[in-house]
Chain A
Amino acid sequence: MLIEKLKQRFGAEILGAEDARGEETISIGRDHAYDIFRALRDEVGFEFNFLTDLTAVDWLERKPRYDVVYHLNSLTLGHRLRVKIAVEAGDLWVPSVVGNWGAADWLERECFDMFGIDFRGHPDLRRILMYDSFEGHPLRKDYLYNKRQPIVPEIDPIVNPIRPSK
């Protein structure tokens, strides 16, 4: 139902669509992603004014390797939609949607922290759950769950006051 309407509106921009277990999913390319998200948010009939969740899935063996997964919700019309953007490991970026939904600010920072995905256009992309000297991105499938990292050395705040990153 929703997928039909989306196909009519966006045509070839939609690379794939699936309706499974009562949940509708579309895949789009990243080049026009920002405009598609803006249209999904604003146009009558879609009205996805609420970004429920933003995360990624690492399909280690697949090409392209990552899926960035957006869960949208419309508080006015009461429908949900899942949008996926596939990105390759060597070219790991998607456009940021902070301009559409404020919630994307922290969600994109978390996704960057956990998967190392670059959200181009994010005003302040830095780690959020892990600390700065942490190496790697823990939710990638090639990051071993029992890997240990060295303890962060104590910094004397008087000698080395905390300063913003470059």
Chain B
Amino acid sequence: MALPARWKEKIVPSDPSDEIMELQMGPSHPASHGTIKFNLKLDGERIVDCDVEVGYLHRGFEKMCEQGTWTQCFPYTDRLNYASPCINNVGFALAVERLLGIETTERCKYVRMIMSEVARIADHMTCLGAASSEVGAATVFMYLLEAREFLYDLIEAVTGARLTVTWCRVGGMTHDLPADFADRVKASFVRIDQVLSDCDKLLSRNRVFIDRMSGVGILPKEDAISYGLTGPLLRAAGVSYDVRKAHPYLVYDRMDFEVPLGERGDNYDRFNVRFREMHQSKRIIEQALASLPDGPVSITDPKVMLPPKEQVYNSIEGLMNHFKLIMEGIHVPPGEVYQAVEGGNGELGFYVVSDGSGRPYRVRVRPPCFMGMGALNKMLVGRMIADIITTFGMINMIGGECDR
């Protein structure tokens, strides 16, 4: 890709006998998880300019969504932030449901919320594990990935898949929670608590870790807001903005949880905010399981939900209903909706536009980590080259979501 116009400007190095070095880091670099390229101008080890190139994982998500029916978009949403696919599913389903003007069942809202929080813990574990392994704490990486397996086991028990879940539908879900779900959650939380406490001991007061993270990648409050950062990146700068609190969806307004905040907006705060959020997510899951209402998990409106298989195989009405929904799709009235949910990395927004046919006219995703990557230049200039790794790790760029 072309370099920015400012790249031609001559920069005088601090030592006049020296010269500015241009270095291309990536697109496939062992220390950065994700396919991304940094074009750097270095004065010794200090970064004087940094141009971030994204787009290596661009698969045309928004274009492909326009080709199928509304329901056929769900598999694509799995592949946005593949560390927390449940949240993407829920966000897209909520957007289409608002466009349709339908309300899902009470149990559906609780189940969606529980699975979103399970996915959030898994997402944070991936981010923190990878980030700590990059600064040398490989033990923490192994511990957290082991703990993530317990969560993936829960997700698999509900959706049948570990990663590409495709589990929400417009108006409900494919599966309800299994009967022993509450016990499974309890059992895995005991082990997750143990792992989190171990990791806390290994890192929170670890000299090497703090030196690499503290005071690095600072983005003050005003810049964080201007650059559109959300989620842990914004909260680390001390701004209390969480979509779950500011614009509640599902039943988050009935839950009692806190929004952890940082002070300085450096990498250590970002780490801490994520760490404390995992405990809050656990609190939400426990409360939701305690007050989980009974009843169906999907609505029965034949214009939206597929009929049960017995009807499809045994009656002409059921078969026609199934055929129409599969071939033509759900008829969504013309209009537009912006629905935001709190994803693992921040505000994940779906802006959907319908022209009244069975297919989406336009699906736009507001990717939270794309904004973080846009602000990376601001966080890095003036810092050392080694700080790229920790800062990039804390932004938690997920290629599928950033590049779509």
Contact = CB atoms under 8 A, between A and B. Distances in A.
Query: Are the chains A and B members of one assembly?
Result: yes
Interface of A: 20-21, 23, 25, 49-53, 55, 57-58, 69, 71, 75, 78, 80, 82, 101-103, 105-107, 110, 114, 124, 126-132, 138-139, 143, 145, 162-165
A106 B62 contact: no
Nearest to B55: A129
Given A78-B246, A105-B374, A127-B1, A52 B228 contact: yes
A53 B370 contact: no
A141 to B, nearest CB: 8
Given A128-B54, A145-B63, 6 more contacts: A21-B335, A78-B246, A78-B247, A110-B370, A114-B62, A129-B54
Q: SS class of chain A's interface: helix, strand, loop or mixed?
A: loop
Contacts of B4: 124, 126, 164
Contacts of B60: 138, 145
A55 B228 contact: no
A153 B24 CA distance: 20
Contacts of A162: 3, 24
Contacts of B55: 127-131
Nearest to B371: A103
A114 B246 CA distance: 31
Contacts of B227: 101-103
Contact of B335 (A20, A75, A107, A114): A20
Interface residue tally of chain B, by bracket? 35 or more
A126 B5 CA distance: 10
A101 B366 contact: no
Contact of A23 (B8, B54, B246, B338): B338
Contacts of B226: 49, 101-103
B5 A21 contact: no
Contacts of B239: 75
A139 B62 contact: yes
Interface centre among A101, A105, A106, A138, by most B CB within 10 Å? Answer: A106
Residue from A49, A101, A129, A138 with most neighbouring chain B CB atoms (10 Å): A129
B246 A103 contact: no
B325 to A, nearest CB: 23
B58 interface: yes
Contacts of A21: 98-99, 101, 335, 337
B2 A50 contact: no
B241 interface: yes
Interface stretch (B149-157, B198-206, B254-262, B346-354): B346-354
Contact of A51 (B5, B58, B228, B247): B228
B353 A57 contact: yes
Nearest to B378: A102
Nearest to A124: B4
B371 A129 contact: no
Interface in B358-387: 361-362, 364, 366, 370-371, 373-375, 378
B98 to A, nearest CB: 6
B67 A101 contact: no
Contacts of A25: 336
A71 B2 contact: no
Q: Shortest 7 CB-CB distances between A and B: which pairs?
A: A103-B228, A165-B2, A106-B374, A129-B55, A102-B226, A164-B3, A102-B227
A75 B241 contact: yes
Contacts of B5: 124, 164-165
B338 A106 contact: no
Nearest to A74: B246
A65 B380 CA distance: 40
Interface string B129-166: 00000000000000000000000000000000000000
A53 B366 contact: yes
B64 interface: yes
A21 B347 CA distance: 20
B225 interface: yes
Contacts of A138: 60, 63
A114 to B, nearest CB: 8
Given A71-B366, A78-B246, A139 B338 contact: no
A157 to B, nearest CB: 9
A23 to B, nearest CB: 6
A162 B54 CA distance: 17
